[in-house]
Structure 1
Amino acid sequence: MHSHTLNSDNRDTIAQALGGDRWIVACLCAAWCGTCASYRAAFDGLAARHPDKHFVWIDIEDQAEVVGDLDVDNFPTLLIQRHDMVTFFGTMLPDPALAERLIQAQVSQSDDELAAQARSSDERRLWQQHCNLRALLRRA
């Protein structure tokens, strides 16, 4: 199992898949970014180790109508989500071990713990409003 690359042809299919109960791990990158190009294999490796989660690769320029005004400061940026709750949104070092630990830390928490974290800061409350990948796909 590898990550899926979001494109215009599969957007509806991916949106339907993300509507289920599985965790979503999305990497936001750009085709021109050398770091992203080298990180793709690591991201695919994470996807292979986590077949119970949806891994989605999103080129922020090719999919500008989906990512809209998401504040992507640097690459790679990871977005981790369960249902309609964004549990992480931010730049990561391109180290698969860090991403692995981050994913494990998120999935080890209960829905109640995740919900409490989602409300715990202004930044995290903004993630819920602006970074929900399922909502972004519905609007695109």
Structure 2
Amino acid sequence: MSLHVACLCAAWCRTCESYQDVFQAACRELLGPEADVRWIDIEDEAELVGELDIETFPTLLVADAAHVRFAGPLTPQPETLRRVLRAHLNDAAAASVAPEFEALAARLRAPR
């Protein structure tokens, strides 16, 4: 199973700046090397983000090869991130998300 996890942030966001290490550490701890983990600056990677309008930082996307499992903003605490990752590692159900999140997930699945 291929899992894609992306944290959508902005370089100017001080919350994101302090959250990046937390995000990377939690993903390494819970997901292992087989997951595709991405830190995406929504301005630097605007083409990848597409029409998705991110208003709250950080925003997390968790998708597998077939569908989006989770998409939405998180409070920037390590335990919140771990809880969300654990829940969606074990639950392969599709989340009901905006088409823009589905489109981003499809771009993340594409070979780089």
With structure 2 as the length reference, what TM-score do the two structures score?
0.84
Structure 2: distance between partners of 1:102 and 1:131: 17
Query: 1:107 Cα shift?
Result: 1.4
Kindly indicate whether structure 1 or structure 2 has the higher relative contact order, using CA contacts under 8 Å at least 6 residues apart.
2
101, 106, 110: which one pairs with 1:131? Answer: 101
Query: 1:22 Cα shift?
Result: 2.0
Aligned residues: 106
Alignment deviations for residues 64-105 of structure 1 (CA, whole Å, 9 cap, x no partner): 111011121110000011113111111101111111111111
- In the alignment, which residue of structure 1 is the partner of 2:4? 24
What percent of counterpart residues are identical? 41
Distance 1:125 1:42, change over 3 A: closer
Distance 1:100 1:77, change over 3 A: same
Q: Structure 2, unaligned stretches of length 5 or more? A: none
Higher-Rg member (1/2):
1
- In the alignment, which residue of structure 1 is the partner of 2:86? 104
Q: Secondary structure at the match of 2:12?
A: coil
Q: Secondary structure at the match of 1:24?
A: strand
Shift >3 Å, 4+ stretches: none
- Is the contact made by 2:68 and 2:105 (CA closer than 8 Å) also made in structure 1? no
Counterparts of residues 46-85 of structure 1 (less than 5 Å):
46-49=26-29, 50-51=31-32, 52-85=34-67
- Is the contact made by 1:47 and 1:54 (CA closer than 8 Å) also made in structure 2? no
Distance 1:101 1:62, change over 3 A: same
With structure 1 as the length reference, what TM-score do the two structures score?
0.69
25, 41, 44: which one pairs with 2:21? Answer: 41
Q: What amino acid sits opposite 1:101 in the alignment? A: R
Q: Secondary structure at the match of 1:131?
A: helix
Q: Secondary structure at the match of 2:88?
A: helix
Structure 1: distance between partners of 2:13 and 2:105: 25
- In the alignment, which residue of structure 2 is the partner of 1:13? none
